[in-house]
Amino acid sequence: MPDHPGLHIEYLDADPRIRALCQRYWRVSQDTGRFLETVATIYRAENMGSGELTALVKLHSRAWSTVMKCSRCGEPMQFATRTDFIGRREGRPFRCAVCKDQEQQQLDTAKRMRIVEAYQQAMATAQPLAALRPRDCLYLLALIKHAGSEDLSHIRPYCQVRHGRLTPMRDVDRDLITQLWRTGVIAVDPESDTAAFELDREQDARVHFNEVRWQPVIQGLSGLALYEHLEAHVLQADFMQRAALELHECCEHLALLECLAFLETALEEYRLGYRAGVKTCAMITRALQCYTVAQVCNLLHRAARDAAAYYQRGGVSRDHAAKTVVGSFERLMEKALANDWEIAPFKRNFNVPQSALSRLIYNRMLGTDDGGFSQRNEVLLGHLASIS
């Protein structure tokens, strides 16, 4: 009995019963060119399960294509089962598993070389710690605290850090890491998984931002020594003085982010999605001039609750209801200011824990317990200015 046209079958077992079974599996009709029997017919006739039949065929026979050959080494394409054979694409170039593996290894080597080059270039222009902008010092230290590996040999890929936050909002985490990368304060770690970057047509590496490991790029310092020097550096009174303006900006930004993260979470709890724009940010910033983050969260909570109630009364979309938050918040704030209300501070939402950057600045540097949440920046930083 001839094999299927386009197939060469090799039977590996001398046992006549198994050999006959494999032949039956691969046998084709000379008239139609199709398989003579369905797989179901065979396994039922042989009184076995379909999985058992497939396993036997895979183990005791090899089916090779007489048409399709590896375009690199000429090895014929091999099929384990009929499904493989039926699923073949004769028009397309094909690479055997060995060649694919070799090509992947070559590609990985080329990718790794590009990343090593980029890392070496970054290290060649590394600045000493003292030359770093204060903002970059704060960001880098917060990033190491948030994502540093246990042995401090590298900064873990962002997607692998599941607990805690770098800043109150994920989008801002990305901006912060990107900024450190663009300014050459960190570089992609050459030890990153090769799947974390690709080579484009110009052979430049394209990085999967969330998946690469990072290395701090500081002249003469790495690992534990860098961590210790960096922490000592930002705690010096001299640093706090030089960094006063940037520290102030950073604190104001953090306060705004705390409020936005709180609002996002509050609305999520009511299943209302909302992306804060310029207007919302401006309103919150205005409120933060008079109130603490904890107090603003109280107003935001009420505005979110009002939006949810508005939606539940019916007749409006979730999106429309969510957009009423800004207006409600503004009215509440105006009333509170006009009537000189005492607004009760909210407690931190369990789902928005204090971020690594906030802990660094408020707890470590300013010596408060989550002061950015419960106290106004003006008061905290004013206090600092009076000490220095």
Q: Which residues bind Zn ion (CB under 5 A)?
A: 70, 72-73, 75, 96, 99
Taking the complex as a whole, the smallest distance from the CB of residue 353 to Zn ion amounts, in Å, to 53
Residue 299 contacts by C-beta under 8 Å, 6 or more apart in sequence? 287, 291, 329, 332, 333, 336, 343
Identity of the residue, 94 or 139, whose beta carbon is nearer to Zn ion in the bound complex:
94
Taking the complex as a whole, the smallest distance from the CB of residue 100 to Zn ion amounts, in Å, to 8
Taking the complex as a whole, the smallest distance from the CB of residue 254 to Zn ion amounts, in Å, to 56
Q: List the structure tokens of 197.
A: 């970057």
Identity of the residue, 103 or 249, whose beta carbon is nearer to Zn ion in the bound complex:
103
Residue 356 contacts by C-beta under 8 Å, 6 or more apart in sequence? 142, 143, 145, 146, 164, 165, 166, 167
Identity of the residue, 73 or 224, whose beta carbon is nearer to Zn ion in the bound complex:
73
Taking the complex as a whole, the smallest distance from the CB of residue 108 to Zn ion amounts, in Å, to 18
Strand partners, 22: none
Residue 247: in which H helix or E strand, if any? helix 244-269
Identity of the residue, 40 or 98, whose beta carbon is nearer to Zn ion in the bound complex:
98
Strand partners, 118: none
Identity of the residue, 71 or 236, whose beta carbon is nearer to Zn ion in the bound complex:
71
Taking the complex as a whole, the smallest distance from the CB of residue 227 to Zn ion amounts, in Å, to 49
Residue 188: in which H helix or E strand, if any? strand 186-188
CA distance 132 to 143: 15
Identity of the residue, 72 or 323, whose beta carbon is nearer to Zn ion in the bound complex:
72
Taking the complex as a whole, the smallest distance from the CB of residue 70 to Zn ion amounts, in Å, to 3
Residue 288: in which H helix or E strand, if any? helix 278-288
Q: List the structure tokens of 313.
A: 């009364």
Q: List the structure tokens of 304.
A: 């979110």
